[in-house]
Structure 1
Amino acid sequence: MRTVYRPDPGSYNGKASLVLVDDPQLDALDNQLEQASSAAGWQQLLPQLALWQGPGNHFSVLKAPDVYSLAAWWYDGLTIGVEETQ
Structure 2
Amino acid sequence: TYASALRTIYRPVRRYEGVVRLVLAQDPTLDVAGNQREQGLMVEGWRGCTGSLEVWYGPGNHFSLLKAPNVLSLAAWWGDGIFAGERVL
TM range (shorter): 0.7 to 0.9
Q: CA deviation at 1:9?
A: 4.3
* Structure 2 residue ranges without an equivalent (≥5): 1-5
Residue 4 of structure 1 aligns with an amino acid whose one-letter code is: T
Q: TM-score, normalised by structure 1?
A: 0.83
Residue in 1 aligned with 2:24?
20
The aligned counterpart of 1:32 is: 36
1:26-59, Cα deviation, whole Å (9 max, x unpaired) = 1111101100001101111112111111111101
In the TM superposition, residue 16 of structure 1 has moved relative to its aligned partner by 0.7
RMSD of Structure 2 on Structure 1 (CA): 1.7
Structure 1 counterpart of 2:11, which letter? Answer: P
User: Whose strand proportion is higher, 1 or 2?
Assistant: 2
TM-score (normalizing by structure 2): 0.81
Residue 65 (1) aligns with residue 69 (2): yes
Percent identity, aligned pairs only, is 47
- Give the match for residue 43 of structure 1: 47
The 4+ residue runs of structure 1 with deviation greater than 3 A are none
Match of 2:10, SS state, is coil
Unaligned runs of 5+ in 1: none
